[in-house]
Structure formats: C-alpha cells, structure tokens
Structure 1
Amino acid sequence: MARGERKRRAGPLADAPGPRAPDKAGRGGAGRRREGRVGVGPAAGPRRPGGRGAGDQGPGSAALVALGLALALGLGLGLSWRGILAWQRARRAVTLHPAPLALPPNSSSAAASPDLFWGTYRPHVYFGMKTRSPRAPVTGLMWLQQGATPGTLGQLRHTCEQGDGVGPYGWELHDGVSFGRQRLQDGPLLLTTEFVKRPGGSHGGEWSWRITAEPQSLEGSVSPLLSLFFYVATDGQGTVRPDPGTGGQLKGIDGHTEDLGDFRLVLLPPTNAKGTALKYGSYNVLWMPSPGLQLLTEAVKSRLNRWFQHRPPGGSPERYLGLPVSSQWEGENSQSGHTVRGQVVVQQLTLKIPFRVELVFESGSMGSGESRPGGRLAGSMLSQALDTHAAAFTHRFEETFRLGARGLSSGEQALGRAALSGLLGGIGYFYGQGLVLPDPGDEGPEEPATAPSLFPPAPLFTAVPSRSFFPRGFLWDEGFHQLVVHQWEPRLTREALGHWLGLLNADGWIGREQVLGDEARARVPPPFLVQRAAHANPPSLLLPVMRMLDGGDTADLDFLRTAFPRLQAWFSWLRQSQAGPLPLSYRWRGRDQAAAGLLNPKTLPSGLDDYPRASHPSPDERHLDLRCWVAFGASVLTQLAQKLGETRAETELADLAAKLRDENGLDSLHWAPELGAFADFGNHTGAVRLARGPQGLVRVVGRPPPHLQYVNALGYVSLFPLLLRLLSPDSPHLGPLLDLLADSRQLWSPFGLRSLSASSPLYGQRNSEHDPPYWRGAVWFNVNYLALGALDHYGHLDGPHQAHASQLHTQLRTNLVGNVWRQYRDTGFLWEQYSDQDGHGMGSRPFHGWTSLVLLAMAEDY
C-alpha cells in the first residue's frame, strides 16, 4: 500500500519543500517556505466543462506554440536544450488536461445534486458535516468528559486519532446519501450519533442530528459530567452569528453563505431517552475568528480557561471547565461594521449522562422555524424519520447482497452492514492544490532538485482508506473502494471516478496521493506532501470501470462515454512513462535508491511498498505486476472502446491487449524456470542483510554480488498473471501457481494468503531500523479479494485445474471471512492488514478502505 508514510505524527508544514506559486505564464516563482494556507486560497476562474472554444488550440498545437515560445526565450537567454525541455515538463506537470470533463459542470452544486450537497464529508472528525463546495461551511461535534470526580478533566475529542484510546467506533448504518448511525465508545461513555437529511428548498435541503450519551454499563459505572461542543465554522466566505439567549444558551446560530443563502442552526433542549425534557443543563458559547479548520481543536481547548459550576436543582454543584458564557465577538472588528470572513460559533452543553440532544439545520429557502412545511425535523418526527431510514437500509442491504439468503449469521450480516456503512461514511469532499515535482525525463535523476509547483485548485470526492490514519485520497485504493460502492449506489461511483479523472494533468498523469486543503495537509508529514509526475500507481480505477461495462446500466455507459478520452489519456501515459528496457516490458519508476539503511529499496508507486524487488534498482528492471496491470488495462479499454463504437481506439487497444496477453511473450520476460514461478527481473543479489553499525542498522551486501537475474521473491507479485486472469485455463503455469498459492510453507495461511512466502529470506524482516515489515507476510484483503475472484473464475472454466481452483476458492473464502469476522467481533474494528500467524488485526484501524471488500467476499460477488 503506497501510503507514503508509516509513522505519526505530522510535522509543521514549514518543514515541507517550498512550493512555487505559479505566475501568469504558468511558471513557478522562487521557492520559499510557507506555513498554513498553501494551496487553499480562492479558487481560480471557472473551468470550461469540456471541449474548446473557437479560439482555443488543441493539445498538440498548444504544445508546439509553447515549445516555440520556450525555444525563442531560452535560446535568447542562452539556456540549454535540456533546460528548455525541463521547463516545458514542469509547465505541463501542473497544467490540466484539455479533454472534456467526465462530469457535468457544477455537478457537485446544490442545484445539480441537491441530495448529495450536504454529507458527512469530513471523515477525519468523529462527527461532522459539510457541503460539496470549495469554501464549504462545516459543522461538527467535540466532546469532553469532565470526570466523575469534581475538578478532574478528560480529553477533548474531535479528530479521529489512531492512539487516542477511543473505540471501537464507526458507522453501523450509513446509506451514503441521507442517513447514518454511528456508535463511539470512549472509556465509560457510549455516544450514538445519528443524522437524517430532508430534501427541499434551493440550497440542498435540511438535516437534523441526534446525539445520545449513556454509560457503557449499567453496573458499577459512574455517570461523568459530559460537555458536548456543537460548532459551525465558515472557511473564507460567509458569516455566522449567535442569537443570544440567557445563561449562555443560544436561541440559535444564524448564518449566510453564497452556496447556502440564509440558514439557522438550533440546539434543542436536552431530553431523556423517551424524549422527556430534562430540567437543567449548563451552557457556554464562543464566537471567534476562524483560526483555520486544522487548528480548531487547539483553539477551543485554549479557551477552556475557566471553571464553572453545574448546579442541577436538588443536586450538588460540580465544577466543569467551560468556554465563556457571553456570546460577544472575540475578534478585533466587533464595532467596525466590516464583514469578518472565517468565523466560528461553538455552543457548549454540559450535563450528566444519560441524555440525548438534537441539533437542527434549517435552510432559509424552506421557511422559518417550526412553521416550515412539514414542521421541524426534531423529536418524534426525527425519531420516525430515523426509524424509517434504518428499516429501508436494512431491507435494501439484504436485497442487494443477500447475506441472509446465503445463510450467513446475524453477526456476519452486521459485519457486512458495518463494512459498507464505514466505507460510505468515510467518503470525503476535498478542495485545494497539491504539490507536484515534474518528471525529470530520461536524462534527469529520479529525485529532481527543483522545488515543487502548485497544481491548479481542484475538488476531489473520494472514499478514504482510514478515518484515523489515512483521511485523504489514494488512487489505487479508490479502485477497490468503488467495487463495493458501485454495488450499492452507482451514482456515487460515477461521481468519485469523475473527480479523480478531473485531476489528470496535460500528460495524462494523476497523483497517487491527494492532499487537498488545510485539514488534509495537517495530517501528512511534510516529506510526503509532494507528488512526483514521473510516478504511477496501479490503474485499479479500471476495476469498477469493468463492473460498469458488465452491468449495462445506461447512466454508467453514458458516463463512460464522456470519460473515455480521459481514461485513454491516463492509460496511455501509464504504459509510455513506465515502459521498461525491452518491448512490452514495464518498470515502476520512483523506486528508492540503494540507501545504506534500507534492506531492500522500496517501490511506493507499485502500491506494495516494501515488497522485495531487485536489491539494486536500475533501468534494466522488469516488473511483473506492472506488466499485468497494463495488460488488464488494455483489455478493459478495448471492451469499452468496442462498446462505445470507438473503432480506431478499439483497433489500437485490441492489438496491444493481444500482444500483452500472449503467454509466450509473458514467459519470455517473466517466467523463471529456476523458481518455477513468474518473477521480477533486475540487478539483484540475495546476499543482503542489516547489520548493526555505529549509526544504527546498515545494509551489508555479500557474495554473490548483484547481477541481472530473476528476483527470488515468491509472493503476491508472483500471482499477478493469475490474479488478473491473464492465463488460459489450460496454461501450463496455472497449476504451479495454484500449488504456490495453496502451499502452507509459501503463501497459504489459515487467515488468508500471506503477502510473501514464509520461506523467503525477507519474510517478516524489517526494511530499516525504523521501518517494520509491511508487505512481507501480512494478509491484505484487496489482493486476497482478487485471488478469490480469480479462483472463482477458473473454477467455472473447463480445464485441468477447474476442480482445484474451485476447492481453493471455497476454503480461502472461509478463512478470510471467518478471520475478519472474529477480529471484528473481538475488537469492533476492520483492520488494515491481518497477521498470517494468528490472524490478529494489524496496522491502522478503523480501516474501512479495501478491507470492506469482505462484504463482496461474503456475497461471492467478484
């Protein structure tokens, strides 16, 4: 998994390489270090929704014009030809592709998609909502256990953090559009967060929240004094203003933004579980300039600087730490009459659990107060709406995936609902500018010395792998995510794929990690903020494209017709930029160099990070998995071109696909007779180890020295011709691959296929002193899912290995699903990876990324 990082925590942005702000000519200015708001300024002017105006040049003509200008300027200044080409590459790296966009103009707006405008699109916070707009107003929840002992203080909770002790938590039900229910366990406290949306008006409708706070156990637990902090914040445009009440309790919060018009948020008085009003609650309020959404937690925490007394009638007073009680503006412009941009209002409610409380967002375009058509979405009306949505979700889930009909237990069905809901609840909407280093070209080093440039401002609607650890977009993860999403809500898949394809640059490259906006940037260590335009990622977005082709949905086909030029440009860039030393061979550019502290240089672009490759990176490498991905991509795009009637493209792609699927050609490049398996090829020796030196662990290379040979690493890469179904059912190599897969001394484990053979010298080995094994033995669900699909495929084809493949499919599915279910039952989480030794969950959690494929495995949907 090409995560770009393994450890926490993010450092200050000031440590990142200095971005170059593009000037009017598109060139980067002098590099300088920045802090805070790089890449999140006001959006550039609107992009055309596709096509070219009468005065526009085609991409080829534009390139010639740009090159001509560069030549004239460069030669006049005495620049070298190499320098001119480098300048042109740098310019193209941050120029958007001219092909028509795959989505209609303003497709994310309230006018175009009103039911998707609001959503839980802030996956990095425990509970919050925002709109799908570049400068979206945001709402959210923080909480603080004041402690069972008066005067004690807990921890302010807001953003999902890997090590903060909260959990298990996650969405139990979430339909991806209008409803969700989540439970969060925080020590003795159990919080249930629910939301439901109601359509209407002209600004994306309305929504209501319900927060229920109760003790984890009725026996022996002391109900702590709990503070809930409900907030609304603007981010660069719009205003919010508290409507004062008495004793710190607000009548409401009024706001206005360009996208929402006038709106009002009302925190209703707390009640018990039956809806009966509670007699007492303590209120505090804060109204201040926005410090930046990424700094909101610390800003609230720093203002919890006074002790107040909670005095319920007939009860003993208790001290609690609170915000101010007054709703006075804390900024400097309170009397100036000027509009202050970027504001936050926080309403703090403090009382003893158990209780429940509701927050209602009301759009000015739907009337005012309780007199609005249909009444206020609160109380019994909210209860009825939540129950109706929950029942509809459960019914639709069974109709879609048929887990009950397949005989799965109620617990396994709950796991399936949580897998889907966690993935849908982890969809985010991001907006900002990425940092890009251009392709240095064949004559340049892999690590160019130039400063990165800013990519144009762009939106991204995408699922994230992990709310706590990876709350941002990952290109090859998203292909697996959308396999699940498409089965539930194809429209969401079209939206996600369209946004990813909107990030295509002029050459056809898409950055493999997308860190867009301040909140996303704050969670990423600075060295990993920059994407390199020479580096690819597996084209897994073509997996859901293949599903869309097979499904025959008219809306899917219409989308693919519009998206085809971008898909074709992306694939063309992949196969040309990653071409290997021999015809029809391919290599992942961007491997780590043979540094002194690395046992085996990593290959982050492949998605398999530390999976063993050639010990000494060189241009002579041939990477098996990449060739298989290109062969798969050529086949999918051939089918798509045929379906769309793109005759010329079909002819070219079909010819490429035939050559890449030729098993003799695959054998000549990647079959290693001495290993009895397919393999990478490169400058390699197995005589490497880490030894303790004065500066820590260093790599020691012994004899035999590295030379060009097949890489003796049996594992996931070895299986790729099988995983992507590139072999014929009577291939002489299918049997040996099935034997390799089924051998418990190699890849088979009771918990799924391990990523690296247990007999490999690098199995379970650290890659450096501070880099534990990642893809060196652990069980990863995405590759196991591909294996399930392949085994099911060959188990239904006549051939000498049909029965063996079918039997392995049944057993592997049992092992995988059984282990994920046991770990979910025992921990409450889906995990990033699983131990091949005892099955326990490892890595980040919750991980509702590609581990959510367990749902499709249970449904036998490949």
Structure 2
Amino acid sequence: MSKPGLRRRLRGNEKATYEESKDEKNEEKWPYAKGQLDPLAKATGAAVVVVMTLLITYFRFQQYLCDIIITPVDSDPIIPANGSLPSVNPERFWGTYRPQAYFGIKSRSKTSPVFGLMWMSQLTNQMPPPLRHWCDQGDRLESYVWLKHDGENFGEQEIKEKLFTVKTDFVKQPGGEHGGDWSARISFIPKDPSLSVVVSSFFYVALDQDNGRLEPKLTKGRLTSVDGWHEDLGSFELQMPNIVATAEKSQVKHSYFISYAKQLDQLKDILVNGLKVEAWDKGRTQPYFTLSGRRVPRDVPGPNFVIKQVTAKLPFTMEVMYESGSFVNRQGHLSKDSFSALIGSKEKEFDAKFEKVFQLEQRNYTVNEIHFAKAALSNMLGGIGYFYGPSLVQSRYNSEPVNYWEAPLYTAVPSRPFFPRGFLWDEGFHNMLIRMWNSEISKDIIGHWMDLMNTEGWIPREQILGVEARAKVPAEFVIQRNTNANPPTFFLPLQSLIKEMIQSDKPSDKAYLKALYPRLKRWFAYYNTTQNGDQPFTYRWHGRDPTLTKQLNPLTLTSGLDDYPRASHPTSDERHVDLRCWIALAAGVMRDIARSLGQEWQTYEDTHNLLTDNQMLDKLHWSPKAQQYSDWGLHTDKARLEKPKPPPNQHPSQRHQHMDTDKIRVVLTEPTRQFVNALGYVSLFPFLLKIVHADSPKLDKILSDITDPTKLWTEFGLRSISRNSKFYARFNTEHDPPYWRGPIWINMNYLCLSALHHYSSVDGPYRERAKTVYTNLRKNLVTNIFKEYERTGYIWENYNDKTGEGKGSHPFTGWSALVVLMMAETF
C-alpha cells in the first residue's frame, strides 16, 4: 500500500493526500534519501533513548534499594508455611498464646479467634469499678503467676487481688483434625470468707477480622453457647454452661453482650460501652454493672464479639469448654470430674519431669523454693505468645517506614505487662531455659525467628506484630531500622541444641539443621559487614547518635545494654569489646554446624581463632592504665547535664520558658581517643564468654574486680557497673534514671556463673578461686531472687545493688527466670 493510500485510510480526508503529494514533489530538494533521518536528529534520538534508559535503570535501582529491607532471604524456610497448623503440629496448636492478657487463649492460626477473661469487682464505691483484662502494672495486683505450665498441654495460674484470688486452669485434649478440645475453669475465691465480695466474670470469644462467623445460642434469655466456624478451625462450639458453683446460688446474675469489634485491641472499650447500670436487688439500691444484650451494627456481616457475664457473691467457679467439630470420637465433655482428672494427671507429669530435668529435691531445696522454681519456669512457658503481622521498618533508602512482609512469630516475651512482644536478644537467653525443658519448643521458636530474616541477613530486633502487640508500644519505638543489630544470643542455646541434633537419628533434626545453616550463615555475614569497625577485626554497635545533646552518654540500644557508658562521642572508629566477643562465640558455633553438614568450615574456624586470640584481644581492648578490658573511642569522663543558659537579652517574662527546657550535656574537657574505662558488664565479656585463657593473669585480675565490694560485688549479685565509676548511678538524661549503671541484671549474672563454672572445672592456676567465687555468687543470687519473690509476689527485671529489692517491670519472667538454671547448676 502506498503512503498516500495509507494516509487516506488513517485520516480519511483529501488534505492529507495533498500534503503527502506535496512532500513527494519536494523530495528531490531534501538532501537525504526518503526514510532516513537527519544525523543531528538521529543523534538526538539516540541520546534521548540513552537518557531514558539511564533514568529507568536509576529509578529501578532506587526501588531495588528501597525494597531490599522487605525482601526475604532466598532460602528454604525452617518452619514451612503450614508448620503451625494442627495437621502438622497439633500439640502446640492451641495455647495461652496471648501473654498480654491475664488469661487469653488462641490458636496458631494467623487469624485465630481469641478467647479471654475480664473481671471487675461489683457493689463498690468506684464508678465504674476497674475492669481487668490486659496485664498492667497500674492494676497493682499483689501477684499473678503461672504456678505450673508445661508449654503445651495445661497451665494453672493464680492472680491475687486485694480481697480475692482468681484461679485460672487450662487443659487440652487431642482429637480430630483441628487441634482437639480445651477447657478452662475459672474460680474466684475470697481471702476472708466473712466479707461479702461480689465479682463479675466476663468470658468472651472474638474473631480477628471477618474471617469466620459466630452464632450465639440463648436458652430462656441466657447465653449458653456459641457456635462458630473458621477457615483453619472448621466448625466449633464454645459452651458456657449456666451451672455455677457458689456459696449462695440465689446471688448469681447472668447477662451477655453480642457485638462487633473492628480490631482486637478494642475489646475492653467495647465491653465498657456495652455496660448498663441496674439495682442489685429490690432491697438494695446499690447499683451494679451488667451487659446490655445485643448491639450489632447493621452494616457488618454479623456479630464477631460475644461475652458472657456471671456476677455472684464469692466464692464461685465457672467452666467454659471449646469443642472442635472434627473431634467425632469424643468420650465426654472435658468438664467437672473429667476436667479435674485430666489436669490432675498433667500436674503429676509436670512435677515428675521437673524433678528429672532440674533435680532440685536432690539438691535439698525446700518445698517453697521448689514451688518458686516451678513458677519461674512456668511463667517463661506461659509467657510464650503467637503473633502474626508485619513489622514497620525503615532503611536509609526509604523516606518513610514500610511494612515488612506478614509473618508468624512463636516466641516467649520478657514481661507480660510491659514487654509482651518478641525481643531478639532476650529470646536467646529465654531459650537457655526453654531448651532444657522442651527442646522441640526451642527449635520451633528459633525457627520462627530465623524465618524473619531478610536478604541482608537482618532480623528486626523488636517484633511488634498484630494490633494487640502494637497497641502496647509507643509510636516512636515501633519502627525498626536495618542498620541496628542486636546481640546474636541465639548462639547460646544453639551450642547445646546443635550438639543434640548432630547426634540425633531423627530425619527432622537433619532437615532442621540443613534449613537453619544458610540463614545462620547470612546472619553471621550481616554482623561482619554492618557492625564492623574501621580497623580490621574490630567491631562496633551501629545506631549510636552523635548529635544528641540531652544525653550524658549517647545510648547504645543495639547492644542491649542501653545506657551502659561507651565512648562519649560516637565515631566510626570506636571499638566495642562485647560485640567482638559475641562474634567470636557465633564463629565457633558456625564452625560446628558447617562441619556437621559437610560444608566449608575452615573460614569459621579461622575467624574464631582470630577473635579469641588473647594477644590480639589484649592489643585492641586491654587498658594498661585501668587493667581491664574496655571499649575504645573518642571519649571524656568530664561532662555533665546542665540547664542551657538563657539568651543574654531575654525578657524577664520569658524566664519561665527557659526553666522548662531540659538539661543538655556540657563537655568540660575535650574528648580524646582512648580506652573507655567504665568497669562493668562490658569489661567482663571476654571472661563471660570464656575467651580469656584459664592460665592468663588477666583472669586473676577479673576475679579480683568481681569480688571487690567497692567495684562489682554485692550480697545480691554483681552490679552492672563499678561503684567507683563516674557513671555509677548517674542519670543519662534529666529524666531517665540509671538502667545499666548499677542495678543487678540476672542474664549477665547467669553468664558470669557459667564462666566461673567453666574456669573452676578446667586446669589453671585460678581454678579453686573461681570455684569459691562461683559458690558464693550463686548463693547470693538465688537467695535474693527467692526472697524478693516471697516478699513481693514477683520476679523482677533487675535488682537494687544496695538493698537487693526488685526493680523495673514485673513480673519479669524472661531472662530473670534463669534463676532456675542457677539452682540446678545447669550451664
């Protein structure tokens, strides 16, 4: 087809044809052949193509850089996608996996329905009375503690209010295809039977999102059960019988609330909004609070939040039963006598296993001390949660935070009221205890954590997954940054777990190691590329902010030892001795795994030998002046916090504004590059991780520092920093009290006992001295932690170095529960 014809077809007018013909007439006047471009136009076009290609490449590369942080590592997961479902792991499908609640139950489905308890005292002068739901130190409970919990099948908890005790018992039985049945028994017991105490118990079920259905069943106006369906649970029934054991059955009132919750963190508020006030009885005008029936918005698919309220004079007991629709050969309901019989048998199994594992009776501990140890272990196990969702993360390439991929996390938590979420460096310590009790739980936990690794080898150090977890965290602490690491403490329990798996005949253990190794390999490489120092074979914790003016010593949150004094002026050439020791430990474990799998292990061996070489360690970190291991950097001890001086011409009316400003750091002597001679936990790391040679005179000096009461020794354990340090007990800001500047921390003391135990069992000139220090330190720690538990009802985050009193968040049955291993002398 000719060009004129083509033009006519496309445009359909004669003008186009005329213009095309005119072009043909002028063709011979144009110096270039028809269809060829002017060289300038050709060059310009080529340049445009190049520029566009470069721009596209640039923007694609920028997007690639932005996406790195949210790209999973290219390796087979340790926990398969269906690894938490009942068909694969039925024994751990249901559990008390809502540690932030006083009593909360859910499954390991990513959108599991949640079950839980709230309660309030009635007929009081408080309007309205406080409603208990999520663990809160502000509730000022006398104590709440899992007395026994095996991590899988049952748990017994005791919650002490001022006038009464709440006892929650939970037990499971296997059957069917969806994790079997479970039942809970909730008892309210008055401390003084002569007092008239009236309490309301609220037991509820709620769906997470619109992923199932709930159908409440009423009998004569009372809620008796809830039929439900969920994609991962199939059909189920929650039975809430009307029969309530109580001293005065006539003094029992029932009510219910059927509603809708957009998010799980709104349950308490929705319940409060569903309350109404009624008179307790005809003869008493005193009001009590009762639920208001059905209140479901019209624009939702149906109810997803159902609550049963029982109000009665104490004592009273109620039971709830969850029954799976796929459990077809059930012999009877798990209630009353059958409930008591099953939980009784689980108690006996727990007691027998506890003694077999820890042997405290053989060590002549008292009955109360053994009960305390069982509670410490049980709170660790009862504090295991199951979370699902994305972390909020940011790299230097992201202008705004972005969502990590959605993922599950099965993990213990440090503190149910204060830290009910996963912390990377805490979890390594947690699993020192958990692995002794149940290594399968430990492997499950570690696998979940390792599956959160991105392609860089980074794992967000604080896991805040799901709306309930995020509701407990201030917004400024939610975002996780990929430059920030955390101590790789998982290598502590992995030392023992790997030996067990290497010697195991189980195909599952071999498969686990095979999936674990490439992730650990990437994790190890992450530390060696992102946390290295300017000099070869040196390391520093990244993430310190040199621009801060309100901190006496810029925090090193990534080390886990937040306000422990490092170099006063962060620089890229500072050296952190604790991080060097962590990498040395990791290299040794990596060598063992690689060797067992037939992989190249010599590089890890060489790295381990290099980082544990005492001559190189001493050259980089031994302070000749202070005779201790130290960090090195740009530092001055001569600084203090002062109110900034007011502007010289400030009007008197503005003085109050100046008085409200925070203190800032004033440097009295300019910093120099030097050793940071703050004797404390950081100084001990070459000893804590057993890197110092057993015949080294430096070990003798370390033992002297440990046992010196003017330095680290107390009757309650080793304080975190020497009393002689200029940073001892000093506020790091005007408002932040000392955290790692004096208090006694149990995880570090456990590492110290482990090191002392090691040096007392290997040949060396200081063997007997190490043994004596070990015996005395262990006694001090165990005695004080137990004494404070008896006195206060809690295990604490840390302990005062002058009085031994528990301090910080409580209950803190994360790494403080390592006291059980101290009692058992298991290191």
Q: Of the candidates 133, 147, 155, which is equivalent to residue 172 of structure 1? A: 147
> Is 1:747 aligned to 2:717, yes or no?
no
Give the structure 2 partner of residue 322 of structure 1.
290
Which amino acid is the alignment partner of residue 201 of structure 2? L
SS where residue 201 of structure 1 aligns? coil
- Find the aligned partners of 1:493 and 1:374 in 2 and give their Cα distance: 33
> Is 1:674 aligned to 2:625, yes or no?
yes
Give the structure 1 partner of residue 634 of structure 2.
683
Q: Cα deviations across residues 398-442 of structure 1 (Å, max 9, x unaligned)?
A: 1110011111111111111001100000000000011111156xx
1:718-757 pair list within 5 angstroms: 718-757=683-722
Q: Of the candidates 113, 116, 119, which is equivalent to residue 143 of structure 1? A: 119
SS where residue 109 of structure 1 aligns? coil
SS where residue 855 of structure 1 aligns? helix
Q: Of the candidates 209, 213, 217, which is equivalent to residue 243 of structure 1? A: 217
- Find the aligned partners of 1:88 and 1:673 in 2 and give their Cα distance: 48
- Find the aligned partners of 1:780 and 1:490 in 2 and give their Cα distance: 25
1:156-235 pair list within 5 angstroms: 156-218=131-193, 222-235=195-208
1:278-317 pair list within 5 angstroms: 278-279=249-250, 281-309=252-280
> Is 1:592 aligned to 2:545, yes or no?
yes
Deviation at 1:173, TM superposition (A): 0.4
Which amino acid is the alignment partner of residue 483 of structure 1? M
SS where residue 163 of structure 1 aligns? helix
> Is 1:385 aligned to 2:338, yes or no?
no
Q: Of the candidates 289, 293, 298, which is equivalent to residue 332 of structure 1? A: 298
- Find the aligned partners of 1:809 and 1:267 in 2 and give their Cα distance: 53
Give the structure 1 partner of residue 647 of structure 2.
none
CA gap of 1:526–1:554, structure 2 versus 1, over 3 A, is: farther
- Find the aligned partners of 2:822 and 2:510 in 1 and give their Cα distance: 26
Give the structure 1 partner of residue 762 of structure 2.
797
Q: Of the candidates 439, 455, 467, which is equivalent to residue 404 of structure 2? A: 455
SS where residue 610 of structure 1 aligns? coil
- Find the aligned partners of 2:53 and 2:355 in 1 and give their Cα distance: 65
- Find the aligned partners of 2:674 and 2:127 in 1 and give their Cα distance: 65
The TM-score with structure 2 as length reference comes to 0.89
- Find the aligned partners of 2:213 and 2:517 in 1 and give their Cα distance: 41
> Is 1:427 aligned to 2:384, yes or no?
yes
**Contact 1:148 1:223 survives alignment (8 Å):** no
Which structure 1 residue ranges, 4+ long, deviate > 6 Å from structure 2?
71-74
Instruction: List alignment gaps of at least 5 residues for structure 1.
Output: 1-70, 441-447
Q: Cα deviations across residues 71-123 of structure 1 (Å, max 9, x unaligned)?
A: 997832695xxx87654332111111111111234110010011211100000
**Contact 1:148 1:222 survives alignment (8 Å):** no
Give the structure 2 partner of residue 103 of structure 1.
79
Q: Of the candidates 661, 666, 669, which is equivalent to residue 704 of structure 1? A: 669
1:41-120 pair list within 5 angstroms: 75-76=54-55, 87-120=63-96
Deviation at 1:553, TM superposition (A): 4.2
**Contact 1:93 1:439 survives alignment (8 Å):** no
Which amino acid is the alignment partner of residue 802 of structure 1? R
Q: Of the candidates 241, 260, 274, which is equivalent to residue 268 of structure 1? A: 241
Deviation at 1:595, TM superposition (A): 1.6
Deviation at 1:373, TM superposition (A): 2.5
- Find the aligned partners of 2:686 and 2:220 in 1 and give their Cα distance: 70
Give the structure 1 partner of residue 597 of structure 2.
644
SS where residue 496 of structure 2 aligns? helix
- Find the aligned partners of 1:554 and 1:310 in 2 and give their Cα distance: 68
**Contact 1:182 1:194 survives alignment (8 Å):** yes
Instruction: Give the length in aligned residue pairs.
Output: 759
- Find the aligned partners of 1:202 and 1:331 in 2 and give their Cα distance: 34
**Contact 1:89 1:439 survives alignment (8 Å):** no
Deviation at 1:308, TM superposition (A): 4.8
Q: Cα deviations across residues 782-823 of structure 1 (Å, max 9, x unaligned)?
A: 000000000000000111110111111000000000000000
Give the structure 2 partner of residue 655 of structure 1.
606
**Contact 1:210 1:356 survives alignment (8 Å):** yes
SS where residue 251 of structure 1 aligns? strand
- Find the aligned partners of 2:198 and 2:313 in 1 and give their Cα distance: 5
Give the structure 2 partner of residue 155 of structure 1.
130
Q: Of the candidates 354, 363, 377, which is equivalent to residue 315 of structure 2? A: 354
Give the structure 1 partner of residue 526 of structure 2.
573
Give the structure 2 partner of residue 40 of structure 1.
none
SS where residue 366 of structure 1 aligns? coil
- Find the aligned partners of 2:490 and 2:511 in 1 and give their Cα distance: 17
The TM-score with structure 1 as length reference comes to 0.85
Mean Cα deviation higher: 169-178 or 546-555: 546-555
Deviation at 1:167, TM superposition (A): 2.9
- Find the aligned partners of 1:718 and 1:389 in 2 and give their Cα distance: 45
Which amino acid is the alignment partner of residue 319 of structure 1? P
Q: Of the candidates 484, 493, 511, which is equivalent to residue 535 of structure 1? A: 484
- Find the aligned partners of 1:375 and 1:511 in 2 and give their Cα distance: 46
Deviation at 1:703, TM superposition (A): 4.1
Deviation at 1:307, TM superposition (A): 2.0
Which amino acid is the alignment partner of residue 202 of structure 2? F
**Contact 1:256 1:262 survives alignment (8 Å):** yes
CA gap of 1:251–1:747, structure 2 versus 1, over 3 A, is: same
Deviation at 1:216, TM superposition (A): 1.9
Give the structure 2 partner of residue 397 of structure 1.
354
**Contact 2:224 2:242 survives alignment (8 Å):** no
**Contact 2:628 2:677 survives alignment (8 Å):** no
Q: Of the candidates 125, 147, 155, which is equivalent to residue 101 of structure 2? A: 125
Q: Of the candidates 551, 561, 566, which is equivalent to residue 613 of structure 1? A: 566
CA gap of 1:773–1:554, structure 2 versus 1, over 3 A, is: farther
Which amino acid is the alignment partner of residue 307 of structure 2? V
**Contact 1:270 1:277 survives alignment (8 Å):** no
CA gap of 1:407–1:455, structure 2 versus 1, over 3 A, is: same
Deviation at 1:557, TM superposition (A): 5.1
Q: Name the Cα RMSD after superposition.
A: 2.0
Q: Cα deviations across residues 123-180 of structure 1 (Å, max 9, x unaligned)?
A: 000001001011110000000101357x964211100012111230010000100100
**Contact 1:291 1:299 survives alignment (8 Å):** no
SS where residue 250 of structure 1 aligns? strand
- Find the aligned partners of 1:379 and 1:501 in 2 and give their Cα distance: 42
Query: Which structure carries more relative contact order (alpha carbon 8 Å, separation 6+)?
Result: 1
- Find the aligned partners of 2:65 and 2:820 in 1 and give their Cα distance: 43
Deviation at 1:277, TM superposition (A): 9.7
**Contact 1:223 1:354 survives alignment (8 Å):** no
**Contact 1:588 1:606 survives alignment (8 Å):** yes
> Is 1:509 aligned to 2:444, yes or no?
no
1:18-57 pair list within 5 angstroms: none
Deviation at 1:592, TM superposition (A): 2.8
Quick check: which has more Rg, 1 or 2?
A: 2
Which amino acid is the alignment partner of residue 242 of structure 1? P
**Contact 2:546 2:571 survives alignment (8 Å):** no
Give the structure 2 partner of residue 525 of structure 1.
474
Q: Cα deviations across residues 251-295 of structure 1 (Å, max 9, x unaligned)?
A: 21111001111111111234437xx99455211111111131111
**Contact 1:270 1:356 survives alignment (8 Å):** no
> Is 1:364 aligned to 2:325, yes or no?
yes
CA gap of 1:253–1:117, structure 2 versus 1, over 3 A, is: same
Q: Of the candidates 689, 692, 697, which is equivalent to residue 643 of structure 2? A: 692
- Find the aligned partners of 1:577 and 1:467 in 2 and give their Cα distance: 32
Deviation at 1:575, TM superposition (A): 1.5
Which amino acid is the alignment partner of residue 272 of structure 2? K
**Contact 1:124 1:471 survives alignment (8 Å):** yes
**Contact 2:248 2:313 survives alignment (8 Å):** no
CA gap of 1:254–1:308, structure 2 versus 1, over 3 A, is: farther
Give the structure 2 partner of residue 839 of structure 1.
804
CA gap of 1:73–1:158, structure 2 versus 1, over 3 A, is: farther
1:430-441 pair list within 5 angstroms: 430-439=387-396
